[in-house]
Amino acid sequence: METIRPEQVVHVPPAPQVSVKREQFFYDNKIVRNFAFATAFWGVVGMLAGLFVALELVFPKTLSLGPWFNFGRLRPLHTNAVIFAFVGNGIFMGYYYSLQRLLKSRMWSDKLSKIHFWGWQLIIVAAAITLPLGYTTGKEYAELEWPIDIAITVIWVVFGLNMFITILKRRERHLYVAIWFYIATFITVAVLHIVNSVELPVSILKSYPVYAGVQDALVQWWYGHNAVAFFLTTPYLGLMYYFLPKAANRPVFSYKLSIIHFWALIFLYIWAGPHHLLYSALPNWAQSLGVVFSFTLLFPSWGGMINGLLTLRGAWDKVREDVVLKFMVVAITAYGMATFEGPMLSLKSVNAISHFTDWTIAHVHVGGLGWNGMLTFGVLYWLLPRIFRTELYSKKLANLHFWLGTLGILFWAVPMYWAGFMQASMWAQFTPSGQLKYTFLETVTYMKPFYALRAFGGALFISGVFVMVYNLVKTVKQGSLLADEAAEAPALQKEYKKHEGEHWHRWIERRPTPLLVFTLITILIGGAVEMIPTFLIKSNIPTIASVKPYTPLELQGRDLYIREGCYVCHSQMVRPFRSETERYGEYSKAGEFVYDHPFQWGSKRTGPDLAREGVGNNKKSDTWHFNHLDDPQSISTGSVMPAYSFLIDKTLDITTTPTKIKAMRKLGVPYPEGYERQANTDLQKQAEGIAANLRKDSINVPSGREIIALIAYLQRLGTDIGKEPKAAPSNGTVAENK
């Protein structure tokens, strides 16, 4: 070894000591604990509701405990409980834990944190009360009525204000990638909620959306798809970018890939909503935009998945031993599967098969159970032992939960994929003589074994959740909460010198306000391009002279249809396929829906389409509808529809009729000025006619009952465009003429 002589040593004077002021502070773990407990509690509630409605399709006559527990009322409760209660609390749990540590700051206001927590829980309780009682807007994932919408807005602002002021007062200059996703979630969800919730109140718990028909459908699925994007995806990606590296003790695989992932995802996602409306009455140019941007979403989505999985490079031995990482790996894999399938389902050829079937239900639950559920469980197992300063009570129970959850997802999703493909195949099959091979009811009865397997998978999954709750309760009891966790960090230095070779994106990562503004601009572009022409260019929605406003009785019946959640099982949109025009009648056109507040196109056919229920081969007598609503299985053997016999005894509230007529006129429905004063006279006359028809068949029911109004609405459907069903024209993509 070469020896260094003293004269070769270069003496460098010591660098001057820079006095860096260090500040002591405390992280707030109480708010993290509160949201963690709420996450587990509402997860159990939401999933039990899901299991119950799944079993209702297996045992419809036994479990349809109407009206409050009917499928149409409980299914929105299930979706809202899982999305906004379980996942929502999971988001805030992760936010409050990670944000404080990434910013080296306590939340700006403990009081705002508490208001956020209790306000959010009260909103959930309000939803849990109002939805089973039938108070709903009839718009999927946005069913809550206007007072609750206002409360959501207020609490969301409270959350955002607390978060953003904390960011502004941070001690850590650099904004880590997770915070980019947190900011994007806050601003985009605010825009989505406000735009989709513009409604005209009729009473304290009743409103009509200001949009109608095609425009309402576009706004709803712009909101609906992006609620998935910016409530179920972007915040959880932020949690992934924080908790996965923490659990694996590895840095994120690629900083540059995270930049591409973030900006590409938030720009592309906002355009994708129209792929829920393919082959519908939505203008073709809007459908095409939805297809293009939905397919392109594959690339940033998989970029994020790859970034997550490759973060675990060199740590796979640890994955085999660490149950938290097992949950996270399955979650990221499910995210990859769902974000591959989503772009594929947006292709018209695939969408023609999947839409309105259980295939879409399977797709949604792979994301919900796999991505959101498993990541939430992993975060709970990692986080609660730390803030309670103890070890997880039982790793064996956690591993049992992992396998119950994983197998539950498989038993849930695989039968539904099979069922969806079989539904589409059976709906479209013809006999050699050119007749439809299967009635719709035959396809329903064929699905029952798949529905039973789905319920079994759900039972497995929720049994794992019960195991988790027990494990976490025992963990909490053996520890003690570190409510205020001491920390220390240097104060934020106002002056900053750019480092040699520093990436250009670092500029915006140090500036939260420009990051917020650029994010807002990015997400507004797609929505503006799709919505502005649809609202301002009249040729996008050509009118039909024969389409008239609903009569007062039909309007009341339509509100009952929405109240009972009929839209969750029945569509009102005939697509231009030969199989659909043969089965239902003439394909749907944009001008038919100009007076529909809200639209009722639906997204799932557990029952048949009803767009042409009042005309042609679909038309049934008032007596048939009465008996079918009273006891569906007595009329349609094998039906999974719940009974609505309570409508026979319940008196229709006609005191609301004048207010509803005036509200509709304000929204542009051409009721004559002052018509509200004679509306109930017309209502009673039409109701008497239906009651008289029923008496001819020895059914004596007063004309003032709710069932009369619902029959009136069902008999109206499709009558505006003609008396007989017609096949779609032949143009290569739609139905052949008969």
Across-strand partners of 199? 209
For residue 446, give the 3-state DSSP assignment.
helix
DSSP string, 385-442: HHHTTS--S-HHHHHHHHHHHHHHHHHHHHHHHHHHHHHHHHHH-B-TTSSBSS-HHH
Q: How far apart are CA 286 and CA 531, in angstroms?
A: 9
Helix (H) or strand (E) holding 200: strand 199-203
Helix (H) or strand (E) holding 123: helix 110-130
Does 401 appear as a known binding residue? no
Token pair recorded at residue 735:
């139905």
CB 133 within 8 A of CB 68: yes
Does 78 appear as a known binding residue? yes
Across-strand partners of 24? 488
Q: How far apart are CA 92 and CA 34, in angstroms?
A: 10
Helix (H) or strand (E) holding 209: strand 206-209
Q: How far is CA 616 from CA 337, 626, 727, in A?
A: 43, 19, 12
Q: Cα-Cα-Cα-Cα dihedral of 347, 350, 354, 356, to 10°?
A: 60
Token pair recorded at residue 640:
């999974």
CB 598 within 8 A of CB 208: yes
Q: How far apart are CA 712 and CA 708, in angstroms?
A: 6
Q: How far is CA 664 from CA 238, 415, 682, in A?
A: 43, 44, 17
CB 63 within 8 A of CB 71: no
For residue 26, give the 3-state DSSP assignment.
strand
Q: How far is CA 189 from CA 15, 195, 340, 520, in A?
A: 49, 10, 23, 11
Q: What is the 3-state secondary structure (H, E, C) of 277-336?
A: HCCCCCCHHHHHHHHHHHHHCHHHHHHHHHHHHHCCCCCHHHHHHCHHHHHHHHHHHHHH
Token pair recorded at residue 405:
């959850």
Q: Beta-carbon neighbour count of residue 418 at 10 Å?
A: 17
Token pair recorded at residue 400:
């049992």
Q: Cα-Cα-Cα-Cα dihedral of 682, 686, 688, 690, to 10°?
A: -170
For residue 57, give the 3-state DSSP assignment.
coil
Does 628 appear as a known binding residue? no
The whole-angstrom distance between residue 171's C-alpha and the CA centroid of its chain comes to: 36
For 431, list phi and psi in degrees, rounded to 5. Answer: -80, 165
CB 565 within 8 A of CB 71: yes
CB 591 within 8 A of CB 543: yes
Q: How far apart are CA 42 and CA 30, in angstroms?
A: 18
The binding site for Cu cation consists of 225, 275-276
The binding site consists of 78, 225, 275-276, 363, 365
The binding site for heme b consists of 78, 363, 365
